Amino acid sequence: MVKLYGIKTCGSVKKAMQFLDSKGVEYTLVDFKKESPSLEKIECWLKFVPLKTLLNHKGTTYKKLGLKDKNLDDSGIKQWLIDAPLLIKRPVIESKKGKKEQVIVGFDEKLYEEIWG
């Protein structure tokens, strides 16, 4: 079972979808423009990746909101991720093979190949 979170127009999300399609991996796309992640979902992802990985510091949304200057703590950052999910580095992929669960953030073809190749 694979769930891919992101937006359809994002280049990294498109690459991830093309990769998964080419490997015959079935997945469900959850579009951040239609559905924001809950705090529970973000907390779940944080069991696998650090908050600094999940927050897209280089993105347009981060810069437009001036978050660098806001001196936010972790709970403040989590709230921003819920309120403005385009701040989340994309794609976020939840994957479960047998009993092994993982969360992958960003497009990494080499890592994808190791998992689904």
Cα angle, residue 97 at apex, residues 94 and 103 outer, rounded to 5°: 25
Residue-wise pLDDT tens digits, 79-108: 999 999 999 999 999 998 777 899 999 999
pLDDT, residue 13, reads 98
- Assign domain 2-116 one CATH number from 3.40.30.10, 3.30.470.10, 3.90.25.10, 3.30.465.10: 3.40.30.10
pLDDT, residue 103, reads 97
pTM of structure: 0.92
pLDDT, residue 70, reads 85
Q: Largest alpha-carbon pair distance within the chain? A: 44
Extents of the domains making up the chain = 2-116
Distance, CA of 60 to CA of 58 (rounded, Å) = 7
Tell me the Ramachandran region of residue 104: left when phi exceeds 0, alpha when psi lies from -120 to 50, beta otherwise: beta
Distance, CA of 33 to CA of 16 (rounded, Å) = 18
Residue-wise pLDDT tens digits, 20-69: 999 999 999 999 999 999 999 999 999 999 999 999 999 899 999 998 88
